[in-house]
Amino acid sequence: MGGLQKKKFERGSAANYITRNKARRKLQLSLPDFRRLCILKGIYPHEPKHKKKVNKGSTAARTFYLLKDIRFLLHEPIVGKFRDYKVFVRRLKKAYGKTEWSAVERLRENKPTYKLDHIIKERYPSFIDALRDIDDALCMCFLFSTFARTGKCHVQTIQLCRRLTVEWMNYVITSSALRKVFISIKGIYYQAEVMGQLITWVVPYQFSHDHPTDVDYRVMATFTELYTTLLGFVNFRLYHSLNLIYPPKMDSKVEMDQMEDDDYAMTSESNSEKLSALSASLARAVSSAEEEEAELDQFPVEGEDIEQMEAKEKEQKQQKLFKGLKFFLNREAPRESLAFVIRCFGGEVSWDKSLCIGSTYEVTDETITHHIADRPNIEKQYINRYYIQPQWVYDCVNAKMLLPVEDYFLGVNLPPHLSPFVEEKEGDYVPPEKLKIMALQRGEKPANEEEEEDEEEGEEEEEEEGDEEEEEEEDEEEEAEEKNLKMMEEQRSQGKSLQVKVTPGKVKAENSARLEEEEKAEEKRLAIMMMKKKEKYLYDKIMFGKKRKVREANKLAAKRKAHDDAEKSKKKKAKK
C-alpha cells in the first residue's frame, strides 16, 4: 500500500473545530477580552455532530468554536485595541504607583478608545438586517435607561441609552408605526412595524431596580456598547428616511410657543427633556405640509391586490385611531407609556404642568374628550369628557377600534386585558372576552348583558330537561358514550370540532354510523400496531402533544366555567 500513515484527529471534523481555550491562546487574549470580542463580533460556539471525534477521543464537556470563526477574529482591528488598553492600564498603574499625577492625567487623556462602526456594518450588511436584529438592542437600551445613575454602569451609558430610546420613540410616533401594546406583569410590551419588520420590545415599569448580585454587569455593558452603536445608526437612517433632522429637534412652531418655559433649565437640557416628553412633533428637513398632502395615485387593481389594499386601508385606519381625540393624563397614570401610545395613533395628549415638562393644555380645557385616571374616584369632574382607566387606551389599540367606554369607567371592574400576540388556531382555547372583541370587530352589536344572561339561563334549563330524557338511555349506552367521547377527543385533536348529540329518535341510525366509526377506529388501531418502532415513537409523540393541547384547552374551559358559575351564584345570592 505504502504512503504516509494517516494520523487521527488531523482531518475531518476535528480539524474544523477549536476549543475555547485554544482559541483564546491563538488570539492571545484574556478570557474577559475574548468574551467581549465574541459578543461584539457575534461569534457563538458550535455544537459538533460528533463531539467525541472533535474532542480527540475525550468526552469532557468543552465549548467549541468553528476554526473559521476564530481565523476571522484574528484579523479584527479591535483585538489590537484591546492590547493597547492592556498596556494603558499597566502604564496607569505604574504612574499611580509612582504617584506621578501629571503622567496619570496625560495617560487618562489618551485613553485608547475604539469604534464599532465597522463591526456593525460587517454584522449587518444591509439596513434590513440591522432592523431585524434590533429587538434585543431596544430591550437592553430601555432597561439601561431606567437605571439609577449610581454604580453598575457609567452615567454616560445611561444617558446615551435614554437619548437613543427617546429618539426611537419619537420616530415611532412620527411614522405611527406602533401596532400592538401589551401590559404584562413584567413590563409593557410594544410591537411596531418598521419597514415591514415587526419589532417587539419590552419596557420595565418605572421603579428603581433591586440590582441582583448574580448578574455580571460587564457582560451586559459590553452588549449595551454594541447595541447603543447599532441603535444610533439605525435611528440616524430612520430619521433621514422620514426627512427628519437627526439629532432630533422640535418643530420650530412648537418651540416658539414654548419659549416662555425656557427659564426652566439650560436650553440643551430642556431640549432633551422636552423631546423625552413626547408631546411635540419633530422638525423636518423638508417642510412637512407638502408631503402630507401628496397622496398616492389610485390605480385600478385586480384580485389579490384588492385584499392588500384593504389591509392597507385598515392599517391606515388604525393609524388614525385616536385622531381628533384629546386626552388628559392624571398624575398617577403612567405618563410616558400613555403619551407614547396616544401620540402614535394621532391623539393629542397633555398632563399637569407640575408633572412633567411639555404639557400642552390644562385640565380646564373644554375640548378634552378623555380624561385618563387610575384612581377609584375623582372629586371634581367635568361634564363633557369621559373619565376612563388607562387600560382602555391599550385595549383600543389592540382591538384596532374604539371600544365602548362604559367598561372602563373609574371604579369599574376592568375587563381582562388580553395579549394581542396570541393568535388562536383551530382547536385552541379562546377566552370569551376575545370572542366578544372579535364580534365587535366584525360589526356585530353586543346584546344587552342582562338579556344574554337570561338566554343563558334558559339554555341551561333546556339542557337540564334534555338530560332527564337522556338519563334513561344512559345506562344502556354508557359504554358506547364513553367511546364516543374518546372519539370526539380524537377528532378534536385532529382539528375538527364535532357536536355529536344523542337524541332519542335516531338511535338506530346513529348505531350504524357508530358501528362504522368503531370499525374504522379498530382498523386504525390495528394498523397502528403494525407500525415500525421508529414511526410508532414519532406517532405517539405527535399524538401525545395533540392530546395534551386538547387537555389544556379543556382544562381552561372547565376552569372558566367553574369561575362563571361561582360568579353567577354569588350574584343570585346578592339578589335574594
Partner 1 sequence: MEESSKRSEQRKEMEKERKKGEKKRRKEEEEEEEEILIFNHKSAEKEKEDEDLSDSEDSVFSGLEDSGSDSEDDDDDDEDLKVDQNLSQQVKKEEEDVQSSLKKKDEEEEVKRDEYEHDSSDEEDIRNTVGNIPMEWYKDFPHIGYDLDGKKIYKPIRNKDELDDFLDKMENPDYWRTVQDKQTGSDVVLSDEQVELVKRLQRGQFGDVNFNEYQPQVEFFTQEVMLHPVTNRPADKRSFIPSLLEKDKVSKLVHAIKMGWIKPRRDSRDDSRGRYYDLWASEDTSNLARHRMHLPAPKIPLPGHHESYNPPPEYLFTDEERALWEQQDPVDRKFPFVPRSFSSLRLVPAFPRFIHERFERCLDLYLCPRQRKMRVNVNPEDLIPKLPKPKDLQPFPTTQSLVYRGHSGLVRSISVSPSGQWLASGSDDGSVRFWEICSSRCLKTVQVGGAVKSVAWNPNPSVCLLAVALDSAVLILSPALADRQVVLSSDRLLSAPQEAEPIEGDGLVNWSDTEGEELNQGIRLKIQHPKAVQQVAWHTKGDYLASVMPDHSSHLQVLIHQVSRRRSQNPFRKNKGLVQSVSFHPIRPYFFVATQRSVRIYNLVKQDLTKKLHANSKWISSMAVHPGGDHVICGSYDCKLSWFDLDLSTKPYRMLRHHRKAVRSVAYHRLYPLFASAADDGSIIVCHGTVYNDLLQNPLIVPVKVLRGHVITHELGVLDVTFHPTQPWIFSSGADATIRLFT
Residues 216-235 that bind partner 1 (CB under 8 A): 216, 219-220, 223, 232-233, 235
Looking only at residues 249 through 288 of this chain, which bind partner 1 when binding is defined by CB under 8 A? none
Dist. CA 535–CA 219, nearest whole Å: 45
Site string for partner 1, 392-431 (x = CB under 8 A): ---------------------xx-xxxx-xx--------x
Of the pair 81, 417, the CB lying nearest partner 1 is at 417
Contact flag: residue 355 with partner 1 (CB under 8 A): no
Contacts of 518 (CB under 8 A, 6+ apart): 483
Contact flag: residue 154 with partner 1 (CB under 8 A): no
Looking only at residues 155 through 184 of this chain, which bind partner 1 when binding is defined by CB under 8 A? 160, 182-184
Q: Which residues on adjacent β-strands are paired with residue 200?
A: 191
Decide: 484 and 500 in contact? Cβ < 8 Å: yes
Dihedral sign from CA coordinates of 253, 258, 262, 264: negative
Q: List, as one string, the DSSP characters of 511-524.
A: HHHHHHHHHHHHHH
Contact flag: residue 354 with partner 1 (CB under 8 A): no
The one among 29, 70, 137, 333 contacting partner 1 by CB under 8 A: 333
The one among 139, 192, 277, 280 contacting partner 1 by CB under 8 A: 139
Stretch that binds partner 1, among 6-14, 99-107, 168-176, 312-320 (CB under 8 A): 99-107
Beta strands in 420-477 (DSSP E): none
Contact flag: residue 378 with partner 1 (CB under 8 A): no
Decide: 133 and 234 in contact? Cβ < 8 Å: no
Contact flag: residue 332 with partner 1 (CB under 8 A): yes
Looking only at residues 463 through 482 of this chain, which bind partner 1 when binding is defined by CB under 8 A? none
Q: Which amino acid is at 317?
A: K
From the CB of 276, what's the least distance to partner 1, in Å?
A: 16
Cα-based distances in Å from 91 to 44, 80, 99, 110: 33, 17, 12, 11
Decide: 55 and 12 in contact? Cβ < 8 Å: no
Q: Cα(first)–Cα(last) distance of the chain, in Å? A: 102
The one among 16, 81, 85, 133 contacting partner 1 by CB under 8 A: 133
Residue 349's SS3 state is strand
The one among 148, 215, 309, 378 contacting partner 1 by CB under 8 A: 215
Of the pair 100, 452, the CB lying nearest partner 1 is at 100
Q: Which residues on adjacent β-strands are paired with residue 29?
A: none
Stretch that binds partner 1, among 43-51, 80-88, 308-316, 496-504 (CB under 8 A): 43-51
Dist. CA 151–CA 138, nearest whole Å: 22
17-19 and 64-66 as β-strands: parallel, antiparallel, unpaired?
antiparallel
Beta strands in 420-575 (DSSP E): none
Looking only at residues 520 through 549 of this chain, which bind partner 1 when binding is defined by CB under 8 A? 522-533, 535, 538-539, 542-543, 546
Of the pair 425, 576, the CB lying nearest partner 1 is at 425
Q: Which residues on adjacent β-strands are paired with residue 370?
A: 327, 386
Contact flag: residue 516 with partner 1 (CB under 8 A): no
Nearest to 405 by CA among 421, 385, 435, 427: 385
Dist. CA 140–CA 187, nearest whole Å: 13
Looking only at residues 430 through 449 of this chain, which bind partner 1 when binding is defined by CB under 8 A? 431-433
Decide: 216 and 232 in contact? Cβ < 8 Å: no
Cell numbers describing residue 458: 334558559
The one among 21, 28, 30, 110 contacting partner 1 by CB under 8 A: 110
Contact flag: residue 213 with partner 1 (CB under 8 A): no
Contact flag: residue 189 with partner 1 (CB under 8 A): yes
Decide: 392 and 519 in contact? Cβ < 8 Å: no
From the CB of 476, what's the least distance to partner 1, in Å?
A: 19
From the CB of 514, what's the least distance to partner 1, in Å?
A: 17
The one among 50, 209, 323, 486 contacting partner 1 by CB under 8 A: 209
Dist. CA 379–CA 372, nearest whole Å: 14
Indicate the length of the chain as a whole number: 576
Contact flag: residue 390 with partner 1 (CB under 8 A): yes
Of the pair 444, 567, the CB lying nearest partner 1 is at 567
Residue 365's SS3 state is coil
From the CB of 132, what's the least distance to partner 1, in Å?
A: 7
The one among 4, 60, 61, 185 contacting partner 1 by CB under 8 A: 185
197-204 and 326-329 as β-strands: parallel, antiparallel, unpaired?
unpaired
The one among 73, 79, 130, 192 contacting partner 1 by CB under 8 A: 130
Of the pair 261, 374, the CB lying nearest partner 1 is at 374
Torsion of CA 221, 227, 229, 234, to 10 degrees: -160
Chain position carrying cell 396616544: 342
Of the pair 507, 531, the CB lying nearest partner 1 is at 531
Of the pair 105, 313, the CB lying nearest partner 1 is at 105
Count of chain residues binding partner 1 (CB under 8 A): 105
The one among 3, 5, 60, 126 contacting partner 1 by CB under 8 A: 126
The one among 32, 136, 314, 551 contacting partner 1 by CB under 8 A: 136
Dist. CA 157–CA 66, nearest whole Å: 33
The one among 2, 5, 10, 47 contacting partner 1 by CB under 8 A: 47
From the CB of 227, what's the least distance to partner 1, in Å?
A: 10
Of the pair 187, 358, the CB lying nearest partner 1 is at 187
Of the pair 131, 368, the CB lying nearest partner 1 is at 131
Contacts of 543 (CB under 8 A, 6+ apart): 493
Dist. CA 141–CA 231, nearest whole Å: 9
The CA-CA-CA angle for residues 63, 65, 66, to 5°, reads: 150
Of the pair 469, 535, the CB lying nearest partner 1 is at 535
